[in-house]
Amino acid sequence: MGFIQTMKNRSRQWLLWLLFLTTLAMGVAVFALAVGSAGIPYKRVFQILLEKQSGIEQSIIWDIRLPRLLLGLAIGGALSLAGVILQGMFRNPLVEPYTLGISGGAAVGVSFNIFFGLHRIGILTMPLAGFLGACVVILLLYGLSMKKNVLSLQGLLLTGVMINFIASSLIMLILALSRNEDLQGIIFWIMGSLDEPNLFLIRTALAASVLFLAATYLFHSDLNALALGEEEALHLGVPVERTKRLLFMITSLLIGMSVAVAGMIGFVGLVVPHFMRKMVGRDHRILLVSSFLGGGVLLVFCDTIARTVIAPLELPVGVITGILGGSLFVWVLTRERGGTI
């Protein structure tokens, strides 16, 4: 009876956390739709969403702010989900989506695209080049880290860090050789932005992030077992090598998709899982979903700040996530360690 009661209390607590995060996401969504260079009253936002009319305010909501909102929820959720998986696999809370070098590969792909002028062919060439660059790195990581059908996590991490350094050097080389008119495009993309006009890409990113969340949730028990170590997970009946390979592929595709569409947006995949682990616990049954929601909330909030703080100009959202996320992370660490890091 005690075990059953404990499970009921835990389920009730998890449900309250999900309700809180869902309510918070809805509040941030309304805030993002109402705030901007052209302020729209909150009551008017609900009217516009419920009524089908034409006008300037309707165009601002439906054509500009709502697509950014949906993309922010998708990319923020995807990055946070990738962070949870990687931190669970490596059993290291400091591992983040950009540690493995996949984002660096995507950045190199987009930089080459702009350098050679391929982006003038069509708007889809940039995310396609970014995704192809990410896929090249994924294949390299997988090939170099597989030894006798065993995916070495230590080798994966070290190889990813080295690929990141190589990618950074290639980007600096491209920047040094680029024309002045191309420099701004490369730098602005690297710093991240949700200003994506293509509705097909937005729908694809949203659908992919939700599908990957559902796929990842099937591994919640395996992730809980891997947190104890690979040997313990193997004794518990988890097919460790197959699980690691599948989770690596899911995480890689999440990162590649996110970076290809929105650029390099840092700290979301590091800070959100860290905070959620403290709030809801380490059980991946609740941690995966709560991190997905929390990542979307954080990125939408930061994007709203990025496009309003110096309006009508717009800051790259990666600047805001870096400043805000980094400050919060340092503040939490100093509180945990009595004022010293």
- Of 4-13, 161-170, 180-189, where does the model show the most confidence? 161-170
More confident residue, 333 or 321: 321
**Would you say residue 32 has pLDDT above 50?**
yes
More confident residue, 339 or 66: 66
Residues 334 and 341: their CA atoms lie apart, in Å, by 5
Give the model's pLDDT for residue 37: 79
Question: What is the pLDDT confidence band of residue 340, given thresholds at 50, 70 and 90?
Answer: very low
DSSP state, residue 62: I
**Would you say residue 339 has pLDDT above 70?**
no
Give the model's pLDDT for residue 97: 84
In contact, 123 and 198? CB cutoff 8 Å: yes
Provide the strand spans (E) within the chain. Answer: 146-147, 150-151
> Would you call the peptide bond into 239 cis, given omega within 30 degrees of 0 as the criterion?
no
Residues 84 and 168: their CA atoms lie apart, in Å, by 25
- Token code pair at residue 65: 């702010």
- Please name every residue paired with 151 in a beta bridge, in sequence order, or none if there are none: 146
**Mean of the per-residue pLDDT values of the chain:** 87
- For each of the domains in the chain, give its residue range(s) and CATH number, in order of start: 2-336 (1.10.3470.10)
Best CA proximity match to 73, nearest among 280, 253, 262: 262
More confident residue, 163 or 184: 163
**Would you say residue 292 has pLDDT above 90?**
yes
Mean pLDDT of 211-235: 91
* Lowest mean pLDDT across 24-28, 69-73, 113-117, 186-190: 186-190
Mean pLDDT of 90-114: 87
Residues 272 and 323: their CA atoms lie apart, in Å, by 14
Give the model's pLDDT for residue 337: 62
Residue 53 vs residues 50, 58, 108, 199: alpha-carbon distances, Å: 9, 7, 43, 20
pLDDT tens digit string along 240-254? 899 999 999 999 889
Give the model's pLDDT for residue 193: 87
Mean pLDDT of 12-26: 93
User: Which phi and psi angles does 147 have, rounded to 5°?
Assistant: -130, 110
Give the model's pLDDT for residue 341: 44
Whole-prediction pTM: 0.91
Give the model's pLDDT for residue 315: 85
pLDDT tens digit string along 164-176? 899 999 999 999 9
Q: Provide, rounded to the nearest whole percent, the portion of the chain with pLDDT above 90.
A: 36
Alpha-carbon Rg for the chain in angstroms: 21
Cβ neighbour number for residue 227 with a 10 Å cutoff: 16
Type of residue found at 207: A
Give the model's pLDDT for residue 2: 59
- Token code pair at residue 333: 């660490």
* Lowest mean pLDDT across 23-37, 63-77, 115-129, 221-235: 115-129
Give the model's pLDDT for residue 276: 92
* Lowest mean pLDDT across 17-21, 56-60, 115-119: 115-119
